[in-house]
Chains A and B, each alone.
Chain A
Amino acid sequence: MAHTKLTYPYKLPELGFDYAALEPSIDARTMDIHFNKHHGGYVNKLNAALEGRAELQRHDLVTLLGNLDAVPESIRQAVRNNGGGHLNHFLFWQILKPGGASAPQGELRRAIEGKLGSFDAFKEEFSQAAMNRFGSGWAWLVITAAGELKVISTPNQDAPSMTGDVPLLGLDVWEHAYYLHYQNRRDEYVANFWNVVNWDVVGHFFEQHR
C-alpha cells in the first residue's frame, strides 16, 4: 500500500467497500453523497481548472499542491481548494475500513508511543485537533519533512502536502462528513471514527515514508 501518484485527468477512485459498510459509525447516505457529490465535485472542478494547462497537467497532485506559487494566480485558489479536496478525500477513503483493527501495530505503534506518549494520548490529541478546528477542515497525523510524527489540523481543503508534511491518517470534519447522522454532535462522530480506522493502511504509509 503506497501513496498513489495522482495525475491529470483526475478521477474518483474505487471506494473498495459498500456505502453501508461503515455503519453505524458513518451512515450509507452520508457515504454516498460524500463520495459521489462532494469528492466528485472536487475532481470535476480540479480538471476544469487545469483544462488546457499542459505545463501543470504533467505534474502529480502532491507536487502541484507543494508548489502553489508556481500555479498561475487565476487558478491558484481553485487548484488549492479542489486539488486539496481530491487528495484529502482520496486518502480518507483508504484509511477507513469496516471492522478495522482497533490499534496500530509494530513500528507505527512504537513510533506513536515514542513521540506522543501512548496510543491513548495520541487519540486524545488527534480528537482535540478535530474538535478545535473551527468551521470546515481536517485533523491529521503526519510525518513532517524532518521525519517526525505530528498531529496537525488544516482549514477547509488545505492539504498537509502544501507544507511538505506527509499525511498518514486524516479525519474530515467538514459538517458534510457527519451532519446527516450526527448534526451538531461532532464529538460523537470523532469518537466513533476510531471504530473504522484501517490501521494496516496507516501502518503501510508509515513504513513507506519514515
Chain B
Amino acid sequence: MAVELPDLLFASDALEPHISARTLEFHHGKHHKAYVDNANKLIADTRFENMPLENVIRQTAGDEARVGIFNNAAQAWNHAFYWQCLKPGGGGAPTGAIADKIEAEFGGYEQMMDEFKKAGATQFGSGWAWLVLEEGNVLRVHKTANADCPLVYGCKPLLTVDVWEHAYYLDYQNRRPDYLAVFVEKLINWEFVNAEFRQ
C-alpha cells in the first residue's frame, strides 16, 4: 500500500511558542513529505509495494542493498509517530496507566525524563530518542541514529522526540537541550502514550 503523509492533528501554529509554525511547515510539509514521496518511489514495482509500512521497515533493516528504502520508510513512520506524540498544552507529569508503569520501573517521572532528555542530548548527529516497551513488557529509554527505529529491535515505541537538527534549528539553533526540556514540559501527548501502552 502506498505510504501516506498524515495530516497534522493540530494547526501548524498550535505549538507556538515552543515549536514555531515555520518549523512545523518545513518539517511536515517538506521533510516528512520528502520521506513519504521517496519511499513510494523506491518501493514502486517491488515486493514491498503492497506491504504494511512496519513490515517494509523490518524487512529492509540492515540490508545494504535496500538502505534507501529503509531510510525513507523508517523516516516516514518515525515522523508519523512523532506528530502523534505532540499536542498543544501537553507535557508535564503523565497520568493513567503509563504513570504507574513509569513510577514502577524508573522510580518516578523525573528520573525517566532525565534519562529521556539525556538520550536525546547525547545522540550525536541526527536521530531520535524513544520510550519503548521491550520484549517482556520492560519499559526502557533508547536512542537511535538517523532513520533507525525501535520496531527493528522488536520493541513497541510509546514516545519519541526527533533530534535531527531540522526539528529545532529555526527555533533553538544549537540549543538542543532547551528543545528537549520544552518538549518534555509542554508538548508530550500523554493520551497518545497511554493509548499505545494499553495496546
- Selected from A135, A136, A174, A184, the residue in CB contact (under 8 A) with B31 is A184
Chain B residues with a Cβ closer than 8 Å to the other chain, count: 20
Bound state CA distance, A27 and B152, in angstroms?
A: 40
A residues in contact with B174, CB < 8 Å: 33, 37-38, 41, 176
B30 touches A134 (CB 8 A): no
B164 interface neighbour in A175, A180, A183, Cβ under 8 Å? A175
CB of B26 within 8 A of CB of A174, answer no
The residue in chain B whose Cβ has the minimal distance to the Cβ of A37 is B174
B residues within 8 Å of A by Cβ? 26, 30-31, 34, 67, 71, 124-127, 145-147, 164-166, 169-170, 173-174
User: Taking the complex as formed, is A155 at the interface, i.e. its CB lies under 8 A from any CB of chain B?
Assistant: yes
Q: Is the CB of B124 within 8 A of A81?
A: yes
Smallest CB separation, A117 vs chain B (Å): 26
- Contacting pair A135 B146 (CB below 8 A): yes
Contact partners of A136 in chain B: CB under 8 A? 125-126, 165
Given the known inter-chain contacts A38-B174, A180-B169, A184-B26, please indicate yes or no for A135 contacting B164, CB distance below 8 A. yes
Give the residues in chain A near B124, CB-CB below 8 Å: 77, 81, 156-157
Cβ B30 vs Cβ A183 within 8 A: yes
When the two chains form their complex, are residues A179 and B170 in contact, meaning their CB atoms are under 8 A apart?
yes
What are 10 A-B contacts defined by CB distance under 8 Å? A33-B174, A134-B146, A135-B127, A135-B146, A175-B165, A175-B166, A180-B169, A180-B173, A183-B170, A184-B26
Q: A180-B170, A184-B166 are in contact. Are A135 and B26 (CB under 8 A)?
A: no
A137 and B124 alpha carbons, distance in the complex (Å)? 11
Closest to A174 in B: B165
Contacts of B34 in A (CB 8 A): 184
Enumerate the 10 nearest inter-chain pairs by beta-carbon distance, A residue then B residue, closest first.
A175-B165, A135-B126, A136-B125, A135-B146, A156-B125, A37-B174, A179-B169, A184-B30, A136-B126, A183-B26
Given the complex of chains A and B, what is the CA–CA distance between A134 and B34 in angstroms? 13
- When chains A and B are docked, how far (Å) is the Cα of A136 from the Cα of B165? 9
For the complex, give the distance between the alpha carbons of A183 and B30 in Å: 9
Bound-complex Cα distance A39 to B173 (A): 13
In the assembled complex, the Cα of A38 lies from the Cα of B174 at a distance in Å of 7
Distance to closest chain A CB from B72 (angstroms)? 9
Closest-CB distance, B25 to chain A (whole angstroms): 10
Residue pair A134, B26 in contact (C-beta under 8 Å): no
Shortest CB-to-CB span from B90 to chain A, Å, is 25
When chains A and B are docked, how far (Å) is the Cα of A37 from the Cα of B178?
A: 14
Assembled-state Cα–Cα distance A136/B164 (Å): 9
Whose C-beta in chain B lies nearest to the C-beta of A29? B173
Question: By the criterion CB–CB under 8 Å, are B164 and A37 in contact?
Answer: no
